[in-house]
Amino acid sequence: MGTPNILLTRIDNRLVHGQVGVTWVNYLGANLLIVANDEVAHDEVRQSLMDMVVSDTVGMRYFTLQKTIDIISKASPRQKIFLVLKTPEDVLVLKQGGVPISYVNVGNMHFEEGKNQITSTVSVDDEDIAAFHKLNELGVTCEIQGVPGEHAKNIMELI
């Protein structure tokens, strides 16, 4: 079991869109984008829509959370991985499953009923807050940052 070359782990409830598939991929120099999401792993229509956003020089993989846990350690060192998840709870599942995540970029968590807005792009509920606290206890730094160059804010100071 090797240590995968994870360049960045991002929470974005939109998963792959222009900001992720172009701006962040280019900034990071990633050559593999992994979407770890149980629903999207089985939804070819959503996968093909996300594939259209990303350059064909970047590999795209859509795995369930469990498959990500099971195979990420088998990644080649040449694979520069950008890992995208939908929720902090999903990140916690991966972390507790042994995926070596030490830093999380929090991009977008849209406002919806039952959530409190803490920045213009991030809204959280009690489950999200509990997951962020647990990630913090596990040594994972979580910072809100929409795009490279924007000032990052530690989420623990906001929740």
What are the catalytic residues?
A: 17
Of 121, 141, 128, which Cα lies nearest the Cα of 19? Answer: 121
Alpha-carbon distance of 96 to 87, in angstroms, equals 14
Q: What's 79-130 look like in SS3?
A: CCEEEEECCHHHHHHHHHCCCCCCEEEEEEECCCCCCEECCCCEEECHHHHH
Alpha-carbon distance of 93 to 101, in angstroms, equals 11
Q: Taking the alpha carbons of 38, 42, 43, 44 in that order, is the dihedral positive or negative?
A: positive
Alpha-carbon distance of 11 to 5, in angstroms, equals 18
